[in-house]
Structure 1
Amino acid sequence: MNVKPLALAITASLFTLSGCSTSNLQKQDITVQPTTEVPEHANSSFHVDFEKFTLDNGLDVVFHIDKSDPVVAVTLAAHVGSAREKVGKTGFAHLFEHLLFLESENLGKGGLDKLSARVGGSGANGSTNRDITNYMQTVPNDALEKMIWAEADKLGYFINTVTPPVLQQEKEVVKNEKRQRVTNQPYGHVFDVITKNLYPADHPYNWLPLGSLEDLASASVEDVKDFYKRWYGPNNVTLVISGDFDSTQAKAWVEKYFNDIPRGPEVSPQPKQPIVLTSSKKRYHEDSFAQVPQLTQAWPSMPRFHPDSYAMDVLIKLLTDGNQAPVTNELVEKQKLSSGLMLLDIRSELAGELIMMITAYDGVDLDQVEQAVEIGLKRFETEAFSQDDLHRVKVGIETEYYRNLSSVVNKGVALADYNLLLNDPGYINKEIDLMRAVSADDIWRVYNTYLKNKPFVSTSFVPKGSKQLAVDTAQKAVIKEEQINLEDISKLDTVKPLQISKTPSSFDRSIEPEFGKTPIIPTPDVKTAQLKNGLEVFSLYSDEVPLVEIKLTIDGALLLESPDKNGTANLVANMLTRGTATKSAEELNNEIRQLGSTITVTAEREQIVLKASTLARNYDATMALIGEILTQPRWDLTEFELAKQTVTGQLQQSSADPEAIAQKELYKLTYPKHHPLANNTLGTEESISKITIDDLKTYHQKNIAPQLAKLYVAGAVRHADIQKSLEQLIENWPASKATVPLLPEPNALNSAAVYFYDIPQAKQSTLLIAHPSLKADHTDYFNATAMNYILGGGGFSSRLVQDVRADKGYTYHIRSKFDATPYSSMFEIKSNVRSNVTLESLELVKQIVEEYGNTYTSADLTTTKNYYLKSNARRFETLTAKVKVLEQIGTLNLANNFMQQRNEQIERLGVEDMKGLAKQYIHPNKLIYIVVGDAKTQANRLTALGLGEVIRLN
Structure 2
Amino acid sequence: MKLSKIVLAMGLVAGISACSQQPPASQLPQGVKLITEHTQQKDGVSVPYKKYQLDNGLTVVVHEDHSDPLVHVDVTYHVGSAREELGKSGFAHFFEHMMFQGSENVGDEEHFRIVTEAGGTLNGTTNSDRTNYFQTVPSNQLEKMLWLEADRMGFLLDAVTEQKFEVQRETVKNERGQRVDNRPYGRLGERVSQALYPVGHPYSWPVIGYMDDLNRANVNDVKAFFLRWYGPNNATVTIGGAVTANEVLPLVEQYFGSIPRGPDVTAAPKQPVSLDSDRYISMEDNVHLPLIYMSYPTVYLRHEDEAALDVLAEILGGGKNSIFYKNLVKTQIAVQANVNHPCAELACTFNLLALPHPASGKNLADIEALIRQSLTEFEQRGVNDDDLLKVKAQMEANTIYGLQSVSGKVSQLAINETLTGNPDNLQNDLNRVNKVSKEDVMRVYNTYLKGKGSVVMSVVPRGKLDLIAAADNFSPQVMDFGGPSQTSAEDLQVRRATDDFDRSVEPQAGVNPAVTVPAYWQSSLDNGIKVLGAASDETPTTAMLLKLNSGLYYESPDKTGLSSMLTAMLNEDTTNFTGEEIALELEKLGSYISISSSDEHIQLYVLSLSKNLDKTIDLLMEKMLRPAFKEDDFNRLKQQRLQGIQQSEKNAGYLASNAFRKLMYGDSILGQPGGGTLASVTNLSLEDVKAYYQSHFKPDGGQLIVVSDLAKTKLQQAIAPLTGFTGTAPAVNVQVPADSSRGSVIYLVHKDDSPQSEIRIGKRSLSEDITGEYFKTGLANFTIGGNFNSRINLNLREDKGYTYGARTGFSADGYTGVFVASAAVRADATAASVKEFIDELNRFSAEGVTDPELAFMRRALNQRDALKYETPNAKLGFLAQILQHDLAPTFVDERNAIIANISKQQINQLAQQHFDPKEMVIVVVGDSAVLRPELEALGYPVEDLSL
TM norm structure 2: 0.92
Q: Taking structure 1 as reference, are residues 904 and 244 closer, same or farther at Cα in structure 2, changes over 3 Å only?
A: same
Deviation at 1:566, TM superposition (A): 2.2
Candidates 668, 672, 687, aligned match of 2:666: 672
Query: What CA distance in whole angstroms lies between the structure 2 residues aligned with 1:587 and 1:6?
Result: 23
Candidates 784, 797, 806, aligned match of 1:805: 797
Q: How does 1:245-256 map to 2 (within 5 A)?
A: 245-256=243-254
User: Does residue 322 in structure 1 map to residue 319 in structure 2?
Assistant: yes
User: Does residue 895 in structure 1 map to residue 888 in structure 2?
Assistant: yes
Per-residue CA distance 1:267-287 (angstroms, 9 max, x = gap): 111111110111011111111
Name the residue aligned to 1:493. none
Q: Taking structure 1 as reference, are residues 556 and 6 closer, same or farther at Cα in structure 2, changes over 3 Å only?
A: closer
Query: What CA distance in whole angstroms lies between the structure 1 residues aligned with 2:495 and 2:158?
Result: 7
Q: Is the 8 A contact 2:784 2:791 kept in 1?
A: yes
Query: What CA distance in whole angstroms lies between the structure 1 residues aligned with 2:477 and 2:87?
Result: 17
Name the residue aligned to 1:587. 581
Per-residue CA distance 1:135-193 (angstroms, 9 max, x = gap): 11111101001001111001001111111111000000000000101110111110011
- Report SS of the residue matched to 2:814: coil
Name the residue aligned to 2:348. 352
Deviation at 1:924, TM superposition (A): 1.5
Query: What CA distance in whole angstroms lies between the structure 1 residues aligned with 2:632 and 2:901?
Result: 59
Q: How does 1:131-150 map to 2 (within 5 A)?
A: 131-150=129-148
User: Does residue 515 in structure 1 map to residue 509 in structure 2?
Assistant: yes
CA RMSD between the two structures: 2.4
Q: How does 1:864-943 map to 2 (within 5 A)?
A: 864-943=857-936
Query: What CA distance in whole angstroms lies between the structure 1 residues aligned with 2:400 and 2:531?
Result: 25
Query: What CA distance in whole angstroms lies between the structure 1 residues aligned with 2:496 and 2:881?
Result: 47
| Residue identity in the other structure for 2:290 | P
Deviation at 1:503, TM superposition (A): 6.7
Name the residue aligned to 1:541. 535
Query: What CA distance in whole angstroms lies between the structure 1 residues aligned with 2:455 and 2:701?
Result: 50
Query: What CA distance in whole angstroms lies between the structure 2 residues aligned with 1:855 and 1:446?
Result: 64
Name the residue aligned to 2:31. none
Name the residue aligned to 1:34. none
Name the residue aligned to 2:27. none
Query: What CA distance in whole angstroms lies between the structure 2 residues aligned with 1:584 and 1:716?
Result: 32
| Residue identity in the other structure for 2:807 | R
User: Does residue 75 in structure 1 map to residue 84 in structure 2?
Assistant: no
- Report SS of the residue matched to 2:923: strand
Q: How does 1:417-566 map to 2 (within 5 A)?
A: 417-474=415-472, 504-566=498-560
Name the residue aligned to 1:309. 306
Query: What CA distance in whole angstroms lies between the structure 2 residues aligned with 1:428 and 1:511?
Result: 40
| Residue identity in the other structure for 2:730 | A
Query: What CA distance in whole angstroms lies between the structure 1 residues aligned with 2:182 and 2:477?
Result: 14
Query: What CA distance in whole angstroms lies between the structure 2 residues aligned with 1:634 and 1:720?
Result: 34
Q: Is the 8 A contact 2:120 2:136 kept in 1?
A: yes
| Residue identity in the other structure for 2:856 | T
Q: Which moved more, 1:765-774 or 1:273-282?
A: 765-774
Name the residue aligned to 1:569. 563
Q: Is the 8 A contact 2:610 2:710 kept in 1?
A: yes
- Report SS of the residue matched to 2:942: coil
Q: Taking structure 1 as reference, are residues 897 and 368 closer, same or farther at Cα in structure 2, changes over 3 Å only?
A: farther
Per-residue CA distance 1:292-331 (angstroms, 9 max, x = gap): 1111111101111111112222221122222221122111
Query: What CA distance in whole angstroms lies between the structure 1 residues aligned with 2:271 and 2:866?
Result: 45
Q: Taking structure 1 as reference, are residues 474 and 785 closer, same or farther at Cα in structure 2, changes over 3 Å only?
A: same
- Report SS of the residue matched to 2:388: helix
| Residue identity in the other structure for 2:316 | L
Query: What CA distance in whole angstroms lies between the structure 2 residues aligned with 1:339 and 1:921?
Result: 44
Q: Taking structure 1 as reference, are residues 545 and 341 closer, same or farther at Cα in structure 2, changes over 3 Å only?
A: farther
| Residue identity in the other structure for 1:755 | Y
Candidates 211, 228, 232, aligned match of 1:234: 232
Query: What CA distance in whole angstroms lies between the structure 2 residues aligned with 1:181 and 1:474?
Result: 26
Q: Taking structure 1 as reference, are residues 608 and 479 closer, same or farther at Cα in structure 2, changes over 3 Å only?
A: farther
Query: What CA distance in whole angstroms lies between the structure 1 residues aligned with 2:689 and 2:384?
Result: 36
Structure 1: runs of 5+ lacking an equivalent:
14-41, 481-499
Deviation at 1:572, TM superposition (A): 0.6
Query: What CA distance in whole angstroms lies between the structure 1 residues aligned with 2:385 and 2:282?
Result: 40
Q: Taking structure 1 as reference, are residues 897 and 383 closer, same or farther at Cα in structure 2, changes over 3 Å only?
A: farther
Candidates 289, 292, 296, aligned match of 1:299: 296
Candidates 816, 819, 834, aligned match of 1:827: 819
Q: Taking structure 1 as reference, are residues 323 and 607 closer, same or farther at Cα in structure 2, changes over 3 Å only?
A: same
Q: Is the 8 A contact 1:415 1:428 kept in 2?
A: no
Q: Taking structure 1 as reference, are residues 397 and 735 closer, same or farther at Cα in structure 2, changes over 3 Å only?
A: same
Query: What CA distance in whole angstroms lies between the structure 2 residues aligned with 1:929 and 1:78?
Result: 43
| Residue identity in the other structure for 1:416 | A
Query: What CA distance in whole angstroms lies between the structure 2 residues aligned with 1:763 and 1:922?
Result: 29
Q: Is the 8 A contact 1:524 1:897 kept in 2?
A: no
Name the residue aligned to 1:130. 128
Per-residue CA distance 1:695-734 (angstroms, 9 max, x = gap): 1111111111212422222232333333323333223x22
Deviation at 1:793, TM superposition (A): 1.4
Query: What CA distance in whole angstroms lies between the structure 2 residues aligned with 1:148 and 1:220?
Result: 30
| Residue identity in the other structure for 1:852 | F
Q: Taking structure 1 as reference, are residues 359 and 895 closer, same or farther at Cα in structure 2, changes over 3 Å only?
A: farther
Per-residue CA distance 1:93-124 (angstroms, 9 max, x = gap): 000000001111112111321111010002x2
Name the residue aligned to 1:90. 89
Q: Taking structure 1 as reference, are residues 893 and 752 closer, same or farther at Cα in structure 2, changes over 3 Å only?
A: farther
Name the residue aligned to 2:751. 759
Q: Which moved more, 1:85-94 or 1:542-551?
A: 542-551
Q: How does 1:744-783 map to 2 (within 5 A)?
A: 744-777=736-769, 779-783=772-776
Q: Which moved more, 1:109-118 or 1:269-278?
A: 109-118
Name the residue aligned to 2:49. 50
Q: Is the 8 A contact 1:93 1:133 kept in 2?
A: yes
Q: Which moved more, 1:552-561 or 1:759-768?
A: 552-561
Q: Is the 8 A contact 1:460 1:474 kept in 2?
A: no
Name the residue aligned to 1:742. 734
Q: Taking structure 1 as reference, are residues 604 and 279 closer, same or farther at Cα in structure 2, changes over 3 Å only?
A: same
Q: Taking structure 1 as reference, are residues 809 and 461 closer, same or farther at Cα in structure 2, changes over 3 Å only?
A: same
Q: Which moved more, 1:677-686 or 1:593-602?
A: 677-686
Query: What CA distance in whole angstroms lies between the structure 2 residues aligned with 1:250 and 1:684?
Result: 55
Deviation at 1:44, TM superposition (A): 4.0
Query: What CA distance in whole angstroms lies between the structure 2 residues aligned with 1:173 and 1:802?
Result: 12
Q: Is the 8 A contact 1:193 1:477 kept in 2?
A: no
Candidates 384, 387, 391, aligned match of 2:385: 387
Query: What CA distance in whole angstroms lies between the structure 1 residues aligned with 2:805 and 2:475?
Result: 30
User: Does residue 604 in structure 1 map to residue 606 in structure 2?
Assistant: no
Per-residue CA distance 1:194-213 (angstroms, 9 max, x = gap): 00000001211110111110
Q: Is the 8 A contact 2:81 2:128 kept in 1?
A: yes
Q: Taking structure 1 as reference, are residues 632 and 606 closer, same or farther at Cα in structure 2, changes over 3 Å only?
A: same
User: Does residue 333 in structure 1 map to residue 330 in structure 2?
Assistant: yes
User: Does residue 847 in structure 1 map to residue 839 in structure 2?
Assistant: yes
Name the residue aligned to 2:38. none
Name the residue aligned to 1:361. 357
Q: Is the 8 A contact 1:314 1:394 kept in 2?
A: no
Matched residue count: 901
| Residue identity in the other structure for 2:843 | E
Query: What CA distance in whole angstroms lies between the structure 1 residues aligned with 2:930 and 2:618?
Result: 58
Name the residue aligned to 2:19. none
Name the residue aligned to 1:26. none
Deviation at 1:474, TM superposition (A): 4.1
Q: Is the 8 A contact 2:382 2:442 kept in 1?
A: no
Structure 2: runs of 5+ lacking an equivalent:
14-40, 479-493
Name the residue aligned to 2:36. none
Q: Is the 8 A contact 2:736 2:815 kept in 1?
A: no
Q: Taking structure 1 as reference, are residues 321 and 465 closer, same or farther at Cα in structure 2, changes over 3 Å only?
A: same
Per-residue CA distance 1:230-257 (angstroms, 9 max, x = gap): 1011001110001111221111000000
Query: What CA distance in whole angstroms lies between the structure 2 residues aligned with 1:438 and 1:476?
Result: 36
Name the residue aligned to 1:284. 282
Q: Taking structure 1 as reference, are residues 866 and 431 closer, same or farther at Cα in structure 2, changes over 3 Å only?
A: same
